[in-house]
Amino acid sequence: MRKTFKGGVHPPHYKEATEHREIEKARLPQRVIIPLQQHIGAPCELIVKVGDKVKVGQKIGEGKAFVSAPVHASISGEVVSIETLPHPVGGKVLSVVIQSDGLDEVDNNIKPFGSIESLSPEELKKIIREAGIVGMGGAAFPTQVKLSPPPEKTIDTVIINGAECEPYLTADHRVMLERTEDVVFGIKVVMRAVGVSSVYIGIEDNKPDAIKKLEEAVSGEENIKVIPLRAKYPQGGEKQLIYAITGREVPSGGLPMEVGVIVQNVGTVTAIARAVKTGMPLIERVVTVTGSGVKKPRNLLARIGTPFKDLIEECGGFNGTPGKVIMGGPMMGIAQTSLEVPVIKGTSGILVLTKEEAKQYEPGPCIKCARCVDICPINLLPTRISHFSQMGMWDEAEEYNALDCIECGSCSYICPSKIPLVQRIRIAKGEILARKRKK
Amino acid sequence: MENLKLLVTSSPHIRDDDSVQKIMYSVIIALIPASLMGVYYFGFHAFLVIAASILGAIVTEGLFQKLRNKPITVSDGSAVITGLLLALNLPPGFPLWMAVVGSAVAIGLGKQVFGGLGYNPFNPALIGRAFLIASFPGAMTTWISPVDGITTATPLGLLKLQGITTDYFSLFIGRVGGCIGETSAVAILIGAAFLLYKGYIDWRIPFSYLGTVAVLMYIFGKDPVFHLLSGGLMLGAFFMATDMVTSPITKKGRWIFGIGAGIVVVVIRIWGGLPEGVSYSILLMNGLTPLLNRYTRPRIFGKVKANG
């Protein structure tokens, strides 16, 4: 029996288009848009001005707050404007626009830091922070914060998230296959930084090649184990992953560190490896550009700040009329209004659905089939919370634990009446939190 | 790439391809074996009763929705199920106009007054049936023998009133007196197996319902096999107690629902004035369903451990 969690759904994988395609370097963009906020936490403070010349890897936004992460120039060129621009997560954010000089010149300060052993845990954490590394699975939580638990919390386990349970996405899969060494190197950095000896790499069993490759890579390592997981959505959800691998339940409202675990995405650990090995901060990432709405789906290594439009053009442009462009996967990704938005640190994929695929669903009445109840990984009663949300019964929604919802969207996916359950639960969560703040 | 009209909705952006309609039509398909056996044993009039009841249900649903200026949704199949289930719970020689009245009441009072599909607290077909028993007690208890076509009693009636037992095989294949679709256990089981396979009914309700009846009957010195196979228990356990709308959404709730319904059947069959008790057992538990949902909520992931 493969390890797994309770509940969940089995959407089609849709990974065939890109899972066997090697990572390709995207063309150097002519201009990049670098939002000063690409992470959970406080936005960066601007440290460049219009007209400044910048080089690759140069810091352009400083994260002063504890929960923050600096941003860097991803190409060399000139800062041509600093303005609030559309952000792929929604709304507008102050962003630095850099026009390329075509030279791709690297900042002089970028130098390798040396071997892991020569660096103290504190130094490693500082490197990770300065490199602007955030969780690259999508949540974009500053990595160094995760690696710095308060002293009263003992961390004994690190889990590397290679589940990639979102349909269509193959960026993590390719990273595990092609950058295996960096994955292992990054893991060792994390082990030293946090001082843990036990590491598990969780990979869904629909990626047998990645499982094999990593098993070979860590065969000599006593403390690093590869754990094949049953392919089921949301296997890559932090709480589900921790439960599947360790049997520990992250307490309601709590963080993984409360059960002694830190979870890092495979993309994140390769970014860490690169930062330590070369000194280069997080200025590029692998993005799966896919869906039947693009002509040639690919896995592209793209500079942060590259407009979506450039990457879609590089994949042959649209195939027919696009209906929906999504950042991330189809289960939790964010639908975009514009193609001018840039790739950010948390952009795991750009998914283009055709007009036919991008359907608007007309919700029907709830027939109490309870499928949402059966599949909810948190054991909520989505249909009830959705009902309370619609009726404005926020106290009841809270009593039914709406705040525990991880917003995986499995309930909306499975509902035969096409009721937007997770959307209504999200609304309830927002209301409950807003009312709490008022009190 | 200019002037693109992109659809923006919140996630998830893909959906399972199952639908309410698919579920309803699967239930109809699952009821075909029982319907066929009813027509086979009891003759053409049984078919007419089924047709009349379905027609009455569809027309009533459409009329109600038209009068209330709501979209007409008879094509979702739910009214057909109500009409069909009611017919399968009627005697084979039942007057057609009464069947129409019954299904009109089932849809009107049992479903539409509450707001239509999904909002009714009680199983509509059973509301229709309860109405007919109260209104036409004579016609509702006139049974035909599938062997010779003359008036007979049901196996439960024969046992209760005359102390006559019926052999298991006749009960299993359905060659006994009774409602159109309730007599053939084998036909019902074939349909039920299909629904279980499709995941459209939860095994917990029929299992706990039938199990409770069997165990209690055994404890009270009755023949459990006879009681499982006779009357409307099989049909009720697999097709009416499992109605999604009117049964609990929690697993624990379903267990209690089934056990409770089983207890009611045993009490009515052993000590009640009626030979049967399936309809009332399910209706009673339907009434308890909101409470069961409320008090059998599953433990939230990470909840108990958080508080030690």
Contact in structure between A267 and A138 (CB atoms under 8 Å) = no
Say what the pLDDT of residue B2 is: 54
Contact residues for B291 (Cβ-Cβ < 8 A; gap 6+): none
> Of all residues in chain A, what percent carry a pLDDT higher than 90?
89
Give the gap in angstroms from C-alpha A279 to the nearest C-alpha of chain B: 37
- Residue among A334, A357, A381 minimizing CB distance to B249: A381
Supply the pLDDT for residue B304. 65
Confidence band for B153, pLDDT divided at 50, 70 and 90: confident
Output phi, psi for B236, to 5 deg.
-65, -45
| Span A255-271, average pLDDT | 95
Q: Write out the two tokens for A424.
A: 């209504």
Among candidate residues B188, B183, B87, the one with its CA nearest the CA of residue B144: B183
In this structure, the strands spanning A157-162 and A198-204 are: parallel
Average pLDDT over residues B87-116: 96
Q: Which pLDDT score, from 0 to 100, does residue B276 have?
A: 85
Instruction: Identify which of A60, A56, A186 has the alpha carbon closest to the alpha carbon of residue A110.
Output: A56
Mean pLDDT of B176-194: 95
pLDDT score recorded for residue B189: 97
Residue pair A85/A93 in contact by the 8 Å Cβ criterion? yes
Question: What's the confidence (pLDDT) of residue A197?
Answer: 84
| A412 in B contact zone (CB under 8 Å) | yes
pLDDT for residue B308 is more than 50: no
Going across the sheet that includes A23-25, the strands are A23-25, A298-303, A284-290, A349-354, A322-327, A334-335
Q: What is the mean pLDDT of chain A?
A: 94
Interchain CB contact of B155 with A (< 8 Å): no
Q: Give the H or E element holding residue B97.
A: helix B96-108
Q: Is B61 strand, coil or helix?
A: helix
Q: What pLDDT sits at residue B33?
A: 97
The pLDDT of residue B158: 85
ipTM here: 0.91
Lowest model confidence (mean pLDDT) among A322-336, B155-169, B262-276: B155-169
Question: Model confidence over B32-64: pLDDT tens digits?
Answer: 999 999 999 999 999 999 999 999 999 999 999
Whether B3 shows a pLDDT value over 80: the answer reads no
pTM: 0.93
Per-residue model confidence (pLDDT) at position B157 = 85
**Dihedral angle computed from the Cα positions of residues B208, B212, B213 and B216, in that order, rounded to the nearest 10 degrees:** 170
Q: Name which of A160-164, A263-267, A356-360, B197-201 the model is least confident about.
A: A356-360
Cβ–Cβ < 8 Å for A270, A333: no
Band (pLDDT 50/70/90 cuts) for residue A432 is very high
Can you spell out the DSSP letters for A46-105? Answer: E---TT-EE-BT-EEEE--SSS---EE-SS-EEEEEEEEEE-TTSSEEEEEEEEE-S--P
When mean pLDDT is compared across A55-64, B33-42, B153-162, the lowest value belongs to B153-162
Interface test with B, best of A368, A390, A414 (most B CBs within 10 A): A368
Point out the residue among B22, B245, B298 whose CB comes nearest to the CB of A368: B245
Q: Hey, are the CB atoms on A252 and B301 less than 8 Å from each other?
A: yes
Report the chain B residue with the minimal C-alpha distance to residue A371: B249
- Give the pLDDT score at B305: 47
**For residue B86, what are its two tokens?**
């009611």
Question: Has residue B306 got a pLDDT over 70?
Answer: no
Paired tokens of A125:
């954490």
- Region B287-294 average pLDDT: 96
Q: How far is B308 from chain A (nearest CA, A)?
A: 10
Scanning A174-203 for CB atoms below 8 A from B yields: none
At A350, the pLDDT band (50, 70, 90 cuts) reads very high
Contacts of B7 in chain A (CB under 8 A): 323-324, 335, 358, 360
Which candidate from A252, A359, A373 shows the least CB-CB separation from B303?
Answer: A252
> Are A380 and B300 within 8 A, CB to CB?
yes
CB pairs under 8 A between A and B: 164
Q: Does residue A63 surpass a pLDDT of 90?
A: no
Angle separating helix axes A266-278 and A171-178, nearest 10 degrees = 50
Interchain contact, A254 vs B22, CB within 8 Å: no
Does A104 score more than 80 pLDDT? yes
pLDDT for res A40: 86
Band of the pLDDT at A212, cuts 50, 70, 90?
A: very high
Of the candidates B7, B18, B301, the beta carbon closest to that of A249 is on B301
Over range A424-431, report the average pLDDT: 96
List CB contacts (< 8 A) between A385 and chain B: none
Nearest CB partner across the interface for A368, out of B118, B251, B299: B118
Q: Are B247 and B216 in contact (CB under 8 A)?
A: no
Interface test with B, best of A367, A374, A403, A407 (most B CBs within 10 A): A367
Q: What is the pLDDT of residue B307?
A: 43
Residue A388 and residue A424: Cα distance in Å, rounded? 9
Average pLDDT value for residue range B255-277: 93
Give mean pLDDT, residues A272-291: 96
Looking at the predicted structure, is the pLDDT value of residue A122 above 70? Answer: yes
